[in-house]
Structure 1
């Protein structure tokens, strides 16, 4: 719930600013809300939303341009799509389901878990783009040995079974104690929280197959570095906004103690830095002769670079 507006005698808005969630925010002159920091916070919000939204396109464009997914981890593609499916359903449930919102309020002292339309739009947009990349892995050229690994197939199957079983329990039992008049094993809010937990688990592991693939091939050809640069940009500005907001409220526990924002943000940035080192320092997007593959029809992108250490090795040879 937004704070009550100050009285006209105490302050007056100097400018109206549109926040990243679509709200009109008045910036004040009385010092209660520093104009510069508030403007900077909202600017960071717009930048990270734009960067993260755009980060899904470079890989799709690269795959389409090369007509090949050689060098692109299929494990990452399927994990990413399943993770954003969970994330999209999570946001849709909080945005559109009165039952889920009411159950959340009942468990959190009447507080709302505010999911706005832009959260839903981002999640659905991300899911659609990840599905497009999965389709590309099915229709474009791939290396003969390129396939999803057995551990990842098992992991996704386990996640899918958990989702299906918990959803079935909620459907059969009603998923709402207030309506059934008694206890139920799971409520719909539990189902939504399980989706959130699965998304967090996938975030921890989804980049590992691509890092390993780049290491095995000694090349980043087929993996879009622009995707990583945009993701890094979004992650940095997201954390900057988090710390700006905490500094304004004086509540640093909201930044330091919120693992979902700070911890996962730092982990994501850490993976981005690993990819940057692989691309610009260790390997680069060098041509690789795939095992058992004599098809050289997939062109190399003229904008792709060779890693510094790879160049040094080639010069010595």
Structure 2
């Protein structure tokens, strides 16, 4: 691979451009450069606009920044090279095959997670009922995705938020891609549709619990206070949207609990789509596998275990999916729970029976 170094501006004395590799020591570099430094002499016009290619040869796997530094006896020439921008993020992999595998795995979990909303929607429509589906889970899930959607859209589309992010992270990359925005928008649409089904279909006596209402009130106050801090100049908009992402993380830790408890109380998973669970499990499993593949291929384990929140959340979701799978296929596999069209939710652990005419199962 090659990188290009460009000098543009007034030059009256010779200058040298040297390179350093972040997180590397002498004798333990990630790459070998050719040439290892660049010499620039002043042209007759004393104005230089010259680009030079530097070739890179990988020595060991890793992810690092290659920085360029201008060395001159005259400090006024520092404007020739903006060292705050004179860097390139370099990734050295062990195997191209693993890169392809990681990309395939990434598409697999993206599609699994995107599709995971629809089995529940279809099941609700087929049954014309949402009995057995926790309203606490639905409302918390909607709120979490709405918060995450706000964060993703702001960092993807807002130039002012992006500028603030890059000001705080001069060598950082915007952490939101187009597929993140697409997933978030789709998730908000799907969860809104699920909430709409709760208004249209048989729901018995189910309602949002006081606990869930209290949680959503707390989250709402966090959003309100963050907005006030932005209005008073204490916060930047980036801080506001960071808080939205933190709310999403907090919701992920609690949103599955109401559904697991409801299944336990009813001794049944009727009304809770196993297709949703299996696709969510597949998405979480492939996400963790991709992190492990990338960690090995780029020798970058810190990005996995150094960011415990991201890895922990993925593992946490997978463990809850395992619990739901056990509830569906083992604990309540032979459940004969039946709902009647127009009946109220009969309560924890009870079974409603009736003559076979007009049953909706």
**TM-score with structure 1 setting the length:** 0.78
Tell me which residue corresponds to 2:99: 38
| Conserved 8 A contact 1:66-1:298 | no
Give the superposed CA RMSD.
2.6
Tell me which residue corresponds to 1:69: 130
Unaligned regions of 5+ residues in structure 2, if any?
5-32, 34-52, 58-91, 340-344
Mean Cα displacement is larger for which, 251-260 or 203-212? 251-260
Deviation at 1:185, TM superposition (A): 1.1
| Conserved 8 A contact 1:220-1:286 | no
Separation in 1, partners of 2:135, 2:271? 12
| Conserved 8 A contact 1:90-1:195 | yes
Deviation at 1:126, TM superposition (A): 0.5
Separation in 1, partners of 2:288, 2:258? 26
One of 222, 226, 242 as aligned partner of 2:271: 222
Tell me which residue corresponds to 1:310: none
Tell me which residue corresponds to 1:133: 194
1:79 to 2:140 alignment: yes
Q: Which has the higher strand share?
A: 2
One of 224, 234, 240 as aligned partner of 1:185: 234
Separation in 2, partners of 1:32, 1:257? 19
Unaligned regions of 5+ residues in structure 1, if any?
12-30, 174-183, 301-317
Which protein, 1 or 2, shows the higher relative CO under an 8 Å CA cutoff with sep ≥ 6? 1
The 5 Å alignment of 1:232-247 reads: 232-247=281-296
Tell me which residue corresponds to 1:48: 109
Deviation at 1:294, TM superposition (A): 8.3
Deviation at 1:166, TM superposition (A): 1.5
Q: Which has the higher helix share?
A: 1
| Conserved 8 A contact 2:226-2:240 | yes
Q: How many positions carry a matched residue from both structures?
A: 268
Mean Cα displacement is larger for which, 201-210 or 133-142? 133-142
Mean Cα displacement is larger for which, 88-97 or 135-144? 135-144
| Conserved 8 A contact 1:67-1:298 | no
Q: Which runs of 4+ in 1 moved over 3 A?
A: 2-7, 292-298
SS at match of 2:171: coil
1:249 to 2:298 alignment: yes
SS at match of 1:222: coil
